[in-house]
Chains A and B, each alone.
Chain A
Amino acid sequence: MKSIYENEMKLEFISKSNNEAFARISVAAFAAQLDPTVEEISDIKTSVSEAVTNSIIHGYEDTEGIVKIICKIIGNSIIIEISDTGKGIENIEEAKKPLYTSKPNLERSGMGFTIMESFMDEMKIESILGIGTKVTMKKLIKKEEITDEDISKVLSQIGQKESNEN
């Protein structure tokens, strides 16, 4: 496989709920090469967990199916696609609304898409009834830039220390 991306990985697993932890930990481990902060890793793990849970309980409604994850690295960004071949979403706009859930009896909060949207930089949902759903998310891992000001600050501190010692 020749990838146009700097790095790429694919993951497929059965829609069992104990794979939710496996999925988010695997994606977090792959994302680690971008040197993200603890908060950025946490945002990615939570978003992956939401999308995978949606596939398991809404897409497949607890029947057995395959959840597929593709991760791509491009520059400082990670793109994560999570897809299923489940029942699909009838009304995407409604599903995206905060607190909306089609399964209130399961104590679902209806915050899944809201969390993905706010924790990631971009989120897109594609769905066809009876065919499946694909959620694509992108997160830019911010690099801390070292400015000239930082360097001169450090240099002056070293200079002070040396003059104190003499």
Chain B
Amino acid sequence: MNVNYEQKNKLLLLEITEEIDHHTSEKIRRRADNEITRYMPRKVIFDFSNVTFMDSAGIGVVLGRYKMIKMLGGTLELKNVSLNLKKIFEMSGITKICPTTIKQAI
């Protein structure tokens, strides 16, 4: 995961760089939680441009972080979501609570 924090805007950018399944989700979750509690950002953006696969474990990762960030008074956005990932996020209702932008086809 690539992490970038903008102090000025209190913006934490978390770029996930691996497939998201039950096996990898524990590691992603732990890393994200560490970064969030370290910076206490006002806004968190998950960037999915390098995620080639995701199953329902991704729903758990996003919903869990959403609850945490909301509790801390921040917001969560999802960026560069591919159409395959979007289908899964839509089914779970995540796109209704987190602003989501789609990855443009190359």
Contact = CB atoms under 8 A, between A and B. Distances in A.
B63 A107 contact: yes
A50 interface: yes
A113 B35 CA distance: 32
Contacts, number: 62
Nearest to A104: B60
B84 A18 contact: no
Interface residues of A, number: 24
B1 interface: no
Q: Which bucket holds chain B's interface residue count?
A: 20 to 34
Nearest to A109: B59
Interface of A: 17-18, 20-21, 24, 39, 42, 45-46, 49-50, 53, 56-57, 98, 106-109, 111-112, 114-115, 118
Interface of B: 19, 21-23, 25, 29, 53-57, 59-61, 63-64, 83-84, 88, 91-92
